[in-house]
Structure 1
Amino acid sequence: MRKILKLIRKLTIVFLLLTSFSSFNYAQNKTFIVSYGANDAPPYAIVKKDKLFAGIIKDIFDAIVKDLDIKVKYVQTPRKRAEIYLASGKINAIAISNPQWLHQSNMYQWSDAIFVEKDLLVTLIKHQKKITKIAEMTNMIIGTTRGYKYPTLTKAFSDKRILRSDATNIAANFARLKLARIDGFIDSNILIKHHLTNLTLQHDTPKKIFQIEPIIISEHFIHTALSSNSPVSASQFNNALHKLKKNGTIHAILKKYGV
């Protein structure tokens, strides 16, 4: 009986070792396909010659795949198709996401929070009245990002109390606001800060034309959404993420881009 129990233990250990080795090899032989969108403007994604060249997304994910010893491929995906591609396994991850933004968030694996982002409202400086709450945005035409969900404004948009006007990215919304085609626009504090610092205008500096209103439209954690067939599991991703947070890598990357 003892011999049989010893044999069972040995076989169990061998099975676990083979399973671990198989999983390790599977991850090594696969490529981690990470999606970013046209809406992920600098400093999230800096693109040159149609390839992701630098930015917060590339720097963070390069560090994560280096820790996991797996290859990575970055793919630009239209925002409206990103979830379809994630569900089908065409991509393995949406780099910048949140469970509230996807229609079937319970279908996917989710990373722990990577950092915090705020959605803010930008208007023209000549707009004198400061906006501190959503009710004060009534009848305004607000620039938004195509395919993006705004949970705190869903009802106001649906009731037409606030008029939604989509654009591809933040640069388009800055241009439309300058021409007064919209009354203001909503975007990430990270993108707004970067564009106000780097935007080039004739005659005037951006800070003489645009202002950030006091209202915070929403404040949320940024996560990565992982497909069910991703070669990197949520636990593997989170283990690497925690290491990079602990050793200061994530902080250094965010600081590098002024976050």
Structure 2
Amino acid sequence: MTRPTRLWAVFLVLSLTVLAACSAPPPDQSPGPRWLPRPGMDWQWQLDGRIDTSVDVPVYDIDGFENDAATVRGLHRDGRKVICYINAGAWESFRPDHRDFPRSVLGGPNGWKGERWLDIRRLDTLRPLMAKRIDLCRERGFDAVEPDLLDAYLNDTGFPLTAAHQLAYNRMIAQLAHDRGLSVGLKNDLPQVPQLVDDFDFAVNEECEQYGDCAALKPFVEAGKAVFHVEYALPVDRFCKRARQLGFSSMRKKLDLGVWRQAC
């Protein structure tokens, strides 16, 4: 092959390569498939104190601010999935982002020291603040998010909140998590389970047996989605049989949500 022919061949190969690159679709930037917890998985819920990683369960639910990426990696090495607890319904004076919340969105106290309800009607203000919290969960390697206090409309918050406001806010939270490749749990808010079961990947519930409304969570189990459930006051022999029949992941905890647990 003569030199001009070789140069022409090189030029042709380079041209075809450039054309292929230009016509190819952009690389997929969407997050990978998210973890979808199934009914009946055992779990540990610890929001207080140093995390005890010795509990032999496949799922841990821990505080997103208080636990770093190394803790999450350690749980992953032990074969656990890890849920990131954040407060999505109340301002907390003790969190590092507390100064980012304008006073106009802060309502009345919710019964926990240093906490005040948020005006969930203000999606424009709260969306970027909650996005940052969920970003923290993703950056630390969590698999899922447990956004607390998704039932503000059922409480005396200081704002005229309606069920429609809560639906819009809860769906916003779910979308923020899904956009980041994280699964997300519906915390309590039993009256809106029928409307929200398709938006959330699992449920987290406190004391549905105590108040006689566990049946409201059946749509999650019927959809193949876990219900992570705790009771505080009832002994295990008062709720575990019923919980197993419903397909729940149930245990008894103390209200401080430390290490102690009694599993069903």
Normalized per residue, the structure richer in helix is 1
Larger RCO of the pair (alpha carbons < 8 Å, separation 6+):
1
TM norm structure 1: 0.24
Task: Report the TM-score, using the length of structure 2 for normalisation.
Answer: 0.23
> If each structure's strand is expressed as a fraction of its own residues, which one has the higher value?
1
